């Protein structure tokens, strides 16, 4: 849960680097919350309003953590736009997001794996 809250705290931070664990734990929590909201919404309201509101609320944090994750692999955040290419772009982006980060510091900052947690 801390990984999810840390990403939310960095609401619109697009600088720095994010570990694989930070990105994927946020992704899993985000997916779980979306599924629960969809089930509740379908059962109670019969619409998808809750899911839409939640998706809008976490859009910037999701984008920010993805950009920081790309920075950890040494890529510019603009690589996120590769997902606009049908099918192939999404697959390439998933590979980029799942790739291990650079061990040394780079122009985006020090390795977050070795950064002190406060």
* pLDDT values of the chain reduced to their tens digit, one per residue, 118 residues: 788 888 899 888 899 899 999 999 999 999 999 999 989 988 888 888 888 899 999 999 999 999 999 999 989 999 999 999 999 999 999 999 999 988 877 788 878 877 665 5
> What is the per-residue pLDDT for 108?
83
What pairs with residue 106 in β-bridges?
109
For residue 11, what pLDDT is reported? 87
Q: What is the pLDDT of residue 31?
A: 94
Can you tell me whether residue 109 is helix, strand or coil? strand
Cα 87 → chain centroid: 19
The model carries a pTM of: 0.86
Strand partners, 109: 106
Phi, psi of 72 (to 5 degrees): -65, -25
Residue 117 has a pLDDT of 58
Number of helical (H) and strand (E) elements in the chain, helices listed first: 5, 0
CB atoms within 10 A of CB 23: 21
């Amino acid at each position: 849960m801390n990984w999810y809250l840390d990403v939310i705290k960095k609401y619109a931070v697009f600088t720095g680097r994010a570990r694989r664990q930070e990105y994927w734990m946020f992704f899993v929590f985000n997916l779980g919350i979306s599924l629960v909201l969809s089930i509740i919404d379908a059962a109670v309201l019969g619409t998808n309003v809750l899911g839409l509101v939640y998706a809008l609320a976490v859009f910037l944090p999701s984008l920010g953590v993805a950009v920081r994750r790309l920075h950890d692999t040494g890529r510019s955040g603009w690589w996120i736009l590769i997902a606009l290419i049908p099918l192939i772009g999404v697959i390439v982006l998933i590979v980029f997001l799942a790739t291990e980060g650079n061990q040394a510091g780079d122009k985006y900052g020090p390795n977050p794996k070795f950064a002190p947690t406060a």
